[in-house]
A and B are shown apart, each in its own frame.
Chain A
């Protein structure tokens, strides 16, 4: 990685251009737009030639770290390898010219993909029906909660406004609940890191819409009391929501639908190998049990009597149950293509190995490092686990220092300071696509860092040293926000 300091604006010179468009031959031009509707103050945009644009963004890319660059053990993010066949198919132009409002009979292939992917996801999760419309995991959560609220309201059970969320939950859970107009009630974790049944029981009454659970939870622990929790929550009339952020642990082995979950979302950009793209686009399909199928959002795929596929929308009548519309069109189709290509490559044989190999890699790292790093809960983990900082607390070296030093050694850092249950959380998720050799070199480096904490703590406190930039003053960035080029002048 090499530091490169330019912003595109700094390459601009009057008169340069980076496009070759047809010349203007039409009679009517935008100059004909009436003056009061025309722009007066022009935006300040750079003028740059094509080779300069290409070199600029290539230089920017050289300051980035991706899964293709190196090991990315970011907990709860499932940074697995992104197969190249997925990319090739999604960008091949097969689907790029299709308008989202084209009549169904001209897009039977596109709709065929929706049908095949919905079927595969139902099969792998044990749910009855899916919507592929949600754009991301948090968007899936919101959609799922809308479905839960709509279900209760349509049954005349409108007093169910509370949602139970464990204290170990991802931050999006309570945030999604709040956007959906639900009141968040937190339930504590027991000593062993799973939901405390005794704390849960008193919360269950006829004001509860449901519970949101991540299983395995954010500590990487399987919620072993899930059958009892499901029966308690269903017993009080609530529904169970499954946050699929950690589904990679169970893929091919355990199906959330079989555990009693009524609604779930999946992150196709985690479990199903679509790339994260620097923060998106993702896809967060939502699956539901049979009794909730009619509540899925529109547009909704359906098969017409004469056999062809269609997207059902405008389901507005009094009898309509749909939770509504949550996307302009039918989701991030391009991401769905990548996820289904992955499922086809895996096939029913190899999909069974995803969860076990991911879990093996996590346990291998946990066991290899638990002497040097503090393991708060000793138990078999699933696809990820959490250390509470270094075992030796005397050095004063923090989780942040460890994370930053890892960057010097060519690894991405794990997720840090989450979950909030511990002060120095280091959350590690290796995934099934890392070789033992890579895991071993990570172990070596982590041990080296633990040794440095004793022998040379300053090198940690001032890390990273070998990255394009070093630690950044985040306080100054927030106190005096400079959010656009014009703010720098």
Chain B
């Protein structure tokens, strides 16, 4: 590995450090710009957010078609909590284990009256489809890339074949 290779590694590490800095800045600033309360805050102090509009992602744990309600598990940095959703609209075809977005009014005691529920993953198995297709994509892009470009191990630089 020559100096050129070391310079490449140093520059790329600095740039990735810049991405990490954005990650820190984003987390610090997000609450100031996000119109919805953070799920972690919902979990810690639900009484402070009664009647506030919330927007959450959650994994469906229970469905009640008769009452048009569901219980979803919401992940936070401080561990998950469950919330009951009213006006869930179960005809959306989501099953237990699926992931949904819920936009609605927080009623306190981990109860949300939904204005809109949209399905992200209809079932837990949807993730398998995503991962398999993504692996196919990675293999495809690697094959195509190395068809036209080759790596010089001395300089750690890609060159046209």
Are these two chains actual partners, yes or no?
A: no
